[in-house]
Structures are given as C-alpha cells and as structure tokens.
A and B are shown apart, each in its own frame.
Chain A
C-alpha cells in the first residue's frame, strides 16, 4: 500500500472543528468504553464516533454563516461593523454607508476566500484518509472496507508497512508470542521500532475462523490524549484479562517487520489518540502585533479625544452661532439643544475620523506576512538538495519576529549533528590509526583527502564505509594479532542484529548509531558479524566463518557505562570482551598495562580534543572454573527476588576487572553541514545560542567544542552537576564570583543580590570580561529552575557566552525557554527535530523544526521548518531581517498616511461649525485606503531591501536593530504620527490660505467646497506617493508599476467620478460633476499642490540626509560602502577548523537504551525457525518482556520523566 507520507501530518495540522467538543451519546460524557468484538449491533448502542475523521470546518451550506460569525469575533471587524451601524443612523451619519461597507466587505471576502481554500484542502485530505482501504472481518469473511466505515468492535487485519487505521487492541500476529513491531514516528517522532504484544489468550487466534468466533468484550478508559497510557480489561469466556498500552496499536503507527496482525478497534476516528492529540497549538503573536494592538488602542483613545474636542466645539458653536443661523438652517427635529447637537456630532466625528485606524491595516499586515512566507518557501538557498525538502513557513504570522531573535535554543542530535556516527580513528595497542597524511607526511587538512582505503578484498564490506588511513588495513592484512583482536572485539561485543536479505547483503539493525558504526568498521576490516542466535555469534574472520558461543551479555546501562560479552571461541577458550567509557574502564585494567595505558591516554586526549566520541576496548581471559562459578552466582542473582539489579551489577563488576587494554575507538558524531560557521555567524549577530540536549554531558560538551560554541580560548567553562539545591546554588554562586572577580572594577560581590530582588534584570554580569561557558546537567537544572533560584541561574547563564544543558527532559527544555522568555523580554527561537523538542518549540516565540529527519512531530509543532541547521542563518539574517525591516517601514508609513489623511477633517472642523462635514468626497474616503494608497505600500512591505542579502550575511551586526527593537517602537510611532499631523496641517492650511482669497482666472469663485476637496485630495495623494517613493529603498519594476499606477488610477477615477455620464445616471450620488476638469485646469490649484508637496517632503529629505551624515546606522554605512568594497568583510571567513590542542575531555559513545541484551539472550525476537536450530532452554515464558515493561514503566513514572534514559539530544 502506498500511502503518501504526509497524510497523518495533515490530520494533525488541521484544527479540530468545534463539533469535536465531545459529541457524545445522549447520556452525557463517556465514562468508560465498552466494545464487543464482532458485534456491531451491540456496539451501535453506544453511538461511538465512527472512524470517519472530519477536520474540515464548513460545508457549502454552513460556510457563510459560520465563517461570518467567526470573522465578527475579531475585534477589528466588530469595530467596523459597529461603525457601519452608526452610519445607518441618519442623525449622526456624516458619511455614506458604503465608505465603511466597501472596505469591510473586501476584508471579509479576502478572509473568507482564504478560509474556504484552506477548508477545501482539508476536505480533500479528509476524503483521502477516509477512503483508504483496510481489511475488515465481517461475518467471518475479510472484506475491503474504507477507513471511514470501520466501526468500534470490528476486527481488522493489517499487513506489513500499513498505517494503523484506528486505535486497535492487538489480538494476534504473524510473529511468535503475538509480537508485533511498530514505528511510531508519526505519533511521537521516535523512529526506533517498538514492540507490542498481544495478550497470550488472544495471540492464538491466528486464523479467521477463530477470530470470527471471538466475542470478547473490552471495557476500558474513555478516549484521551495520553499516548503512553492505556488501561482496560478484556472479558472473554468468563475470564478477565488486564490490558495495557503494551497491547495497543495506535492510529498513525506503521506496522513493520510483521507480516500481518489482527486488531480489535477500540477507538475510532476523532476518539483515537492521534486525533485527540492534534489540538491546535497556541496561537502565537509577534511583539509587533502586540505593539500594534496597544498603538491601535491608543489611537482609539486619541480618536475619542478628538471626537470630544470637536463635540464640545460643536456644542459651543451651535450655542453661539448655530442658534442664530437657524433662519437658513433650522436644527434637526431631533435636536433640541446645542448640547444634544454636540453629542450627536461626537458620534459623527467618530465615524469620520475612524480612518486613523484603517480596516485595511490588519489585512495588509497579513498580506505582507504571507508574501514573506512565500519568499521563505521559494528560497532556493534554503532548499536541501539531498533531502529534496524546501524550507517551509508553516505559520505565516511570525515573519518579522525572525528579525528580532536574541536567544536560540537548539537541540543537538539531528539538529546540530546528523546523528550519523562515523568510525574515524582508533588506537590499537599503542598505535594510532586514522590520521590522514599527505604525500609529504604532514597531517592533511580536511577537505583535501586522498583516496579512501580500498576494501575490495572483502566481498562483505559495506560500500558506504570510508576510511582514509591505509596503514590500518595493512596491519590487518599482515595479521597483527592485536589488530585482529581489536576488530574481533568490535564484531562480538555489541547487541546489533543482522539481517541478510541476499547472500552477502548484510543489514545491521543497531540500537544506537555508534554501535552500528563500530560493527560496520569491523565488518569492513574483515571481521564480519554475520548472524547471531541466542547462544551463538557467527563472525567471518578474514573470510572464514567462525562461530563463537555466546555465554553472557553484560548489558550496558547508564551507571556501568560499559558493556561486555563473554564468549567461548571454537578452541574452547573463554574470553570477556568489554568496551566502555575511558573513565570507567581505565580503573579496571590490569596493572601490567600501565605503559600502554599512557600512550592510549594520549591518543584518547587527542581524539577528544577533536571532538570525537571515544570508547576504550579491553578483554580478559577467563578460565573455565572461574566462569562456571561466576555463571552460577549470576544465575542465583538473576533469580533473586529483591535488589536483583544491584546484585547483578556487583557480579558484573567482579568479572570486568583486571582486563587487558586493547585500544580505543574514536567515533565522529557528524555535524550537520555548516554548523560551526552558522553558530559563529549567529554569535556575531549577537544572538545567544543555548544547546539543550538529552545527551550526556561528555557528548554535549564534545559537540560544543566541535561546533565552536566552546573553544579552548574561553576563560573558563563552568560545569554544574550538583545533585542538591545547595550544591547547585553554591556552584552557580562560585561561577558568578569568578566572573565578577575577573572583571571587577567597582562594587562588591553583594551588589548583585540587591539586583536580584528587583524584578528587572539589569546586570553588570552581562558585561563581564572574558568568555565563559556554562554546562549544566539535567538534575542540577531541575533545582536551578525552581522559583527561588531561577533568577540566579538565568543571570549566570546569560553572562556566559555559551550555555549547554545536557540530560534535560523535554519539559525542562520548555522551562528553560519559558524562563528566558519571562525575564529577558527577548525573542526566543527554539530549533529541534524530534518529539522531545516539541514542548520547547511550542513554548518559544518561534519554533523551528528540522524536517526530513526522524519523524515529523517537531515539524508539525513548528512555525518554520527546513532540513539543515545552517539554513537558520539565512532564515534569521536575511529573511527575518528583511521581514522586520519591511514590516516596520510598512507600519510607519501606514500610520503616517492615515493620520495625514484623517487629521485634515479635524482642522476643517474649526471652519465648518464642527458639523462633521468631511473635507473629501466620500468616494475618495472609501477608496483612499483600499485603492489609491494600498498597493505601493504593500509593494514596499513585500519587496523592500535595504542591503543585498550577501551583505546581511557579511555584516551580522546588521541584525542588531531588530533585537533592540529600533525600527518600530513607540518613539518611532510618535514620529510617524507627528509627521502625519504635520502633513495634515499643511495639507489643510496651505490650500486654505490660497483659497480664502484667490479666484479663478476667469473670475469665478475658487473657494467652493468641491474644488477645495479635490485640491486637498489630489495633493494628499501626491504627497503620500512621493513619501512612499522616498521610503521605498528598493525600486523594482513592481514598485514603479504600483506607485505610478496608483497615481494614474487616482486621476482616472477622479475624472470618471466627475464625469457627466455618471451624474446623469445618479445625480444625487455623484455631485462633483465637472469639478475635476474645472479645478485641475487652474494654475493656482497646481501651484498649491506643488507647494504643499514641497513643504511636506523637503523637511523629510533634509532630516534623512542629516541623520545619514550625523548618525548613520550600520545599514546606511553598508549601503554606501557597497561601491567601495572594503576590508572589514572577512570576519567570519577565518573560521576554519582550528585547535588540535585538546584539553582533557572525553566522550564515550553509547547512546542506546539498555535491555536489548536480555532480548537477545532470550531469543524472543528470533523467528521460530531459527530458534528451533538453537539449543534454547526456555526460561519462564514472558520474563524478559515483563522486566522490559517494568523498566519502562519505572522510568516513565519516575518524576523526572525518564531523565535517566538517554533522550535523543
């Protein structure tokens, strides 16, 4: 079955329709669920949701009412509706209804069209999902059914690689013991396979006839969104069987490595855990949004003030003048006093002046953001050729915030690193292999590698494996015993499983990529791990198959940090092979190896200095009696009821002693492309990068070094590993003191305490001299994040140049982000690839998901996604910066143009008896914002660039104005408003001065209202067009077209509206007949327009010119230096791999869970056929599964949420 991979993605992205709010059976909320197999009538009683999912919101009939209802829930739309209603009251209406309704309808239509398109695609994806086929057991026959027709209580059959159609109770499978493997990547992002097992009683229901007779009833919990919990009971044949999550297959999983399985549908459609989890993520707003809303509120306040002033003016005027003017204009019947007239005039002026907050503001902002999002989607430079994934702006409303990021929280594995381990170097018996030498014998730099080593002698070699040092292969070929033993160890001591599809085509399934890398290395060097049974391991050593007897696997765990195997070779010798972290293993070596140990240590240090992950290998020969005795004790311990783990550990410890050192391996945790460069560049842009990883401290620190977050030039790297509150506090305090000490010039150590008490975090710690880094462990972080310490932690961390938090849980990741968000008032960005990053991605202002990696959970939760970490620099420095710049310029101009437009009415009020007479023709008011001035500013908002993209990468400092919020803030807003008001004053008073006296050249009066309106409107359109011309920094053809086009359209519409034809048809609507041609033929009018334009624009030009001279900002400087290219640029070019010198750090390469050892030894995962061959003594039937389950539930229920199991970083 070919199912497009994105399908589940679409389910989850969709917003759950309101109807999902528990459409439940008539008796109220479901308290428990009952489902009887093969009994549709019985199950129908409960009216459970069918398996048809509906993520769409509307259908053809409901679209209009529902969509309108939703749109009017937006404050802005309601406001305009309110204005519209005001306009319908004749006493206060000073504008025609259409001046409001036209823009409102336009806005509503645009939004509705967008919603309709979205919904259409949702319908389509729903249909596609609902029409997938599955095999359902109906009346004893397997029938093809569409997914949407699957009901609760049905038994369905799944085949390998199929999506699970609903939440199923696993009944039986093709595998022994009712086992079944699933991949849950769509659900939780984890790609490693998971095991599910049917309960024993049903696992025998292998064929259809038996299943058809199955009539068990499941009683279980109601639908919920907990992915890892399920509790229920199966009642069958008067017996009860407990059910747990271990028996469930959830919708969205994919069946793997299992031919078929049968399952009983428990939850269908919207009740499934996948759908229950697909809640809409919290709607994020940008800081500009929030600022904009505040400003709009202020403007409303301002509007009301103006209304009040004019209303008072009206009351006074009516009292003083209006009463006497009643011969010519009696008051309206409704008006009985000047006071009441003032009251009405207040509302009239609210209507007239409402254009200070134009409805088109919100739409335009959305349009611009949408444009920017498309630019991100279209960017070829953010397209990953390898994975064929373009960058994607999944949220279209956050773009400008990308230009303001101050903190980046990054995941490690899969984000900074590729999660590909490469066997890079090794040290065998005191000799180091793996360095690449060029012809002259110098260590070659990366990038100029010679030919890789040729492994063609070995037919079983993995073609993808590359190694550069030929001397190692030579050592193998001449039969150096240490080298052979080294690779033998690598081929034996692991928990990898092999699969051989065709002869010679080996596939290794390793639980951790490091193990895979090691076994693959051994394979290429002639020690091919071929197959294993519970009791044997078959290895092809230099072409000959040798079968070792596997006596014991001393499995890895976090405390031991090592693993061993005990094998008996064909000659009968028993040997223990061990690999593990150097810190642990070096203490357990035989003292005779001291000299070798020293050389190996040197090598280890060197490897660690290069950021490689190291493991030490050792072996020990065991004699028969000792082993027998030890094995006996081990058996005893494993049967012990209490503290079994501890006992086993001490027994293991005993045998892993006095070992002989063989050497060490160094594995490179491959960084993603361009990571160090990106980090360096972002650091230069004043962005602080914190790495939050689930990985171990050593690994994390190693990666920190290899991606240049940490360098050896750093003054100090503080490592906080305290286990108690006091320890952590002490460690943080010491770190701070050290930083203070080194940079202390004034004050004493206690000053910061006072600062802590004040909520605002201003700190001279931020300005400490020297570079520091902080590494903090998950368990310490738990204390550091407590309420009384979080500020101390934050202050310490922010003073450091780099912060690495290791072994953190997903929740802690989110907490750290939240902490910074809360106190630093800075924009945060979280980037990650896995399910464990989802919480932090959702918490941060901006979440970025790395696509094309494990699972899609992070991508689903993210706002932006792309497939390489290095694209982040482009996203922030180019797209983000531009978006911010454009949005700021847009807003400045937008407020300016509307104030210039609207305030003219205010001044006119003083001349027209405050009677709410508008200055302009009502058509001009209607069209000003949506036609005459909208497109040029939109074009600027979408296309403007101050400096070319290469420059923003070259001068990362250009990013700073965004972080400091310099381009649009309250001050800038007031400047724009002031400019707008200034313009409006000139716009009114210059024509007033001219018109009050002048006459036309034919003697007729010039100062009639209509000519005045046309003159002011024309000069306004010209002034704002010239202003947008000045604001547009980047004149593309589109800008030209829109700016000139807008002017042309203005004059075209003006003449059309004032034409005879329209007047003939609608004499009462188009009253300005002949005005344009009569007015605009006057030289005086044009002289007025020119003067107004000059007086409005010249100060702006002068101001900008002076600012450029006196206080140029960086972008100006860059713009002007562009022609004279200068030195400065290469700051980031000197970022080659430097620093072979290594301080003593080491990492060890184990990133997998324990537990596979037991699985292997039990043989449960082997096919029966292969089991039959092995002499396999059965132990108590489900013991390993029991213990596996217990371990899992232990770690899941521990408060730290499984902190001790290595999370993918």
Chain B
C-alpha cells in the first residue's frame, strides 16, 4: 500500500492565482482623507445642484385653476349618466399678473383619478393600437366588446375613460374683445408613441377600416371622429388619445393638452391680462370625489415648476456637509488620542 499510484501525481493542485486565492486585487479602505473629501465634494455638488435647480424652477411660471367647484352645475349634470348628450359649458375668468414668457404649455390635471390600478393598466390592446388588427381585444376586459358582441375600438378601460373636456383659452384684449389663444395640438407626444406604438390601420378612409367595430361606451364619437377639424389627427394617432393612453404613475397627474402657438399677440408668450378658460364639461370626476384643474406653465431645461428636486438636493448637500464636519471632528479627536492606524 506504500507505493503512490501514478494518477496521484496529477492531484497536485494548480498553482494559479485563482485557485490559490491570490488574484491581484485592490482593497477598499475607508481612510479619513478619502471619506472626508468624498463627503465634502458630494456636499458641494449637492448644494450647487440644489441651488441651480431651485433657481431654474423659480424662473418658470405656473398657473393652476381648479374648475371642479367652479363648474359645479356641470359636475352635477354629469353625475347622472343619462345626461351624457346634454352639453354643458362653463367659463372661468382669471387674471395673469405677469406675462408668461416663451413656450406656454397647457395641461389638464386630474386629482384622485387612479390610472395606476392594476386592472386598469392592463386593460388595453397594443396589437389593436398599433393598427395591426383592430379587432384584437383579448386583453381589454372589461371593455372588450359591446353588448352586441362587436369589438370595441379602442378597447379597454383606459381608452374608455379618456379625458374629453374641451378647454379653450381666451384672451381678453380689452373688456369687450375676446380672442382665442391659438393652441397647437401637435408635438404633445413622444416620437415612439406616434410612430411605433400607435398606428392607424391605413391612411385611407378610417371609417372603412374601423367597420365592424363599435366605439367605447363613454365616447360620444367613434375613434375616427375625434378631431373634426384635422383629419390627420384622428384614429389612433389623435394626440389627445395618445397623451391619455399611458397610465399615470400616481392618482394626481397632469397631461399635456396643448401648447401655445407663438403667433400674433403671443409671439413672446402670454401677455399679462385677463383670460378665461371656456370649458365644455364632459368628463365626470365628482362621482369618485376626483377633481380637475387646468394648468398653464412655462418650462426650463429641467422641466416645470417643481421645487422638490432642488430642495432635496440642497438639504442633502447641507446635511452631507454637516456630517462631514462632524466626522472630521470625531476623527481628529480620536486621532490625537491614539495616533495609530488611520493614516492616509
């Protein structure tokens, strides 16, 4: 039993760095210089960022007008479903004390409308919306087909609940003359939405393409009659429709309704003065205790008039700085006590 079988010679482990756990490596040391300088730099960065963000957010202007209560009579009317064909308009005057420079964007804002419910988000058919097969309604429950079993186009809960108020902004040049502020209904969506996600079956007669289908129950008009003025803004490519379709992440959200067409009086934006919103009130929200507003806003590089990010950065920067001072103090105290092993 003494002799070593020849195969044992091969049992000597390889002398590779991997197998001997001697791979070259560098270790992470939390040395005082590194940590403190990282903290200081980070603090400065955050503070600067915060200040920049706050300044740019402050440079924007925003007006938000909640018209749920103002148009209470219309809201009341819409709470009963049978009144769907009765028109209700409502006008909300407001005064713009400062002129809004540059591009002005108009949004509608819904409060307490849950576009992020699981079943709501699921209830759409991308196959239908990309125009491949208008009768593909399989994911759309509970709004797949009408009672007579004709497929709904566009199907699903999202499409059915589309926001359908008409908001017209008027500018009162003087006490008597009112002109309509020109709004663009284009460029409200992403390129990918307009050219990939949403496609009409063809560019010919939309009504033919959608034959054999029916409109969603809440809609007054079928999909191909969404925009009577601009035939190209119809079907699945209607901008309002595309804006509505992606679900919002939170129950309070605003969606782009239009942007200022900078012509005539409005070359430089909205001048200060009296304005009014003329709203055709169709979309019921009071039934689920929701609210709706209309928002006018200008933008900067970082989006709208949101102070949150700027404030958060400033606070973070300040705290980081304080922390780094505290850490430095503790470190120096300890270092003088036992000048031992934390060296740079």
Contact = CB atoms under 8 A, between A and B. Distances in A.
A631 interface: no
Nearest to B160: A328
B157 A329 contact: yes
A1077 interface: yes
Contact of B25 (A379, A380, A1034): A1034
Contacts of B197: 1063, 1073-1074
Interface stretch (A274-282, A888-896, A1115-1123): A1115-1123
A390 B218 CA distance: 78
A383 B8 CA distance: 11
B38 interface: yes
Contacts of B191: 1074
A74 interface: no
B284 interface: yes
Contacts of A1004: 188-190, 243, 256
Given A1004-B188, A1035-B28, A1012 B15 contact: no
A471 interface: no
B249 A1007 contact: yes
Given A911-B251, A1007-B250, A917 B117 contact: yes
A1009 interface: yes
Interface stretch (A53-61, A961-969, A1080-1088): A1080-1088
Contact of A321 (B30, B32, B112, B255): B112
A1009 B115 contact: yes
A179 B303 CA distance: 100
Interface stretch (A199-207, A526-534, A598-606, A1095-1103): A1095-1103
Nearest to B311: A993
Contacts of A324: 287-289
A327 B113 CA distance: 12
Given A994-B308, A1032-B28, A1087-B309, A943 B21 contact: yes
Contacts of A377: 13
Contacts of B114: 321, 325, 329, 912-913, 915
A1083 B309 CA distance: 12
Most B CB within 10 A of own CB, among A332, A917, A1120: A917
Interface in B60-82: 81
Contacts of B177: none
Interface in B292-308: 297, 299-308
B4 to A, nearest CB: 5
Interface residues on B, range: 35 or more
Contacts of B189: 1004
Contacts of A1005: 107, 243, 246, 248, 253-256
Contact of B343 (A911, A1033, A1124): A1124
Contacts of B274: none
A916 B116 CA distance: 10
Interface string A25-63: 000000000000000000000000000000000000000
Contacts of B254: 999, 1005, 1007
A388 B118 contact: no
Given A1074-B191, A1074-B192, A1094-B46, A1001 B248 contact: no
Given A1004-B189, A1009-B116, A1067-B132, A1109 B341 contact: no
Contact of B309 (A185, A912, A994, A1063): A994
Interface in A874-916: 882, 911-913, 915-916
B316 interface: yes
Nearest to B188: A1004
A1003 interface: yes
Interface in A511-541: none
A260 interface: no
A722 B53 CA distance: 86
Interface string B4-15: 110011011111
A999 B253 contact: no
Interface centre among B39, B256, B288 (most CB of A within 10 A): B288
Nearest to B46: A1094
Contacts of B342: 1108-1109, 1120
Contacts of B1: 5, 185
B279 interface: no
A453 interface: no
A1098 to B, nearest CB: 6
A1094 B251 contact: no
A995 B250 contact: yes
Contact of B13 (A390, A1037, A1108): A390
Interface in B218-259: 218, 243, 246-256, 259
B318 interface: no
A77 interface: no
Contacts of B308: 993-994, 996-998
Nearest to B297: A999
A1106 interface: yes
A1077 B192 contact: yes
B185 interface: no
A1060 B192 contact: yes
A372 B32 CA distance: 33
A503 B172 CA distance: 132
B291 interface: no
A1030 interface: yes
Interface string B189-209: 111110011000000000000
A292 interface: no
B23 to A, nearest CB: 4
B11 A388 contact: yes
Contact of B4 (A388, A1084, A1102): A388
Contacts of A992: 250
Given A383-B13, A1036-B23, A1110 B334 contact: yes
Contacts of B320: 1094, 1098
Interface in A542-589: none
Contact of B190 (A389, A1078, A1101): A1078
Given A994-B306, A1105-B35, A1110-B330, A1003 B259 contact: yes
B265 interface: no
B49 interface: yes
Interface stretch (B92-100, B119-127, B144-152): B119-127
B238 to A, nearest CB: 15
Contacts of B343: 1120, 1123-1124
A949 interface: yes
A495 to B, nearest CB: 23
B193 A1074 contact: yes
B116 A912 contact: yes
B164 interface: no
Given A328-B161, A912-B114, A997-B306, A1108 B30 contact: yes
A818 B103 CA distance: 81
B11 A390 contact: yes
B171 interface: no
B11 A1036 contact: no
A94 interface: yes
Name the residue in A329, A379, A383, A1068 with the highest tally of chain B Cβ atoms < 10 Å from its Cβ: A329
B316 A1091 contact: yes
Given A1003-B103, A1005-B243, A917 B121 contact: yes
A378 B14 CA distance: 7
Given A324-B289, A915-B120, A1039-B25, 7 more contacts: A329-B142, A332-B119, A998-B304, A1034-B25, A1034-B27, A1036-B24, A1037-B23
7 contacts: A321-B114, A911-B251, A1001-B302, A1003-B103, A1004-B189, A1068-B127, A1083-B302
**7 A-B pairs with least C-beta separation:** A1074-B192, A997-B306, A1067-B126, A378-B19, A1012-B249, A328-B161, A324-B288
Interface of B: 1, 4-5, 8-9, 11-15, 19-21, 23-30, 32, 35, 38-39, 42, 46, 49, 53, 81, 103, 105, 107, 112-121, 123, 125-127, 129-130, 132, 139, 142, 157, 160-161, 187-193, 196-197, 218, 243, 246-256, 259, 284, 287-289, 297, 299-309, 312-313, 316, 320, 323, 327, 330-331, 334, 340-343
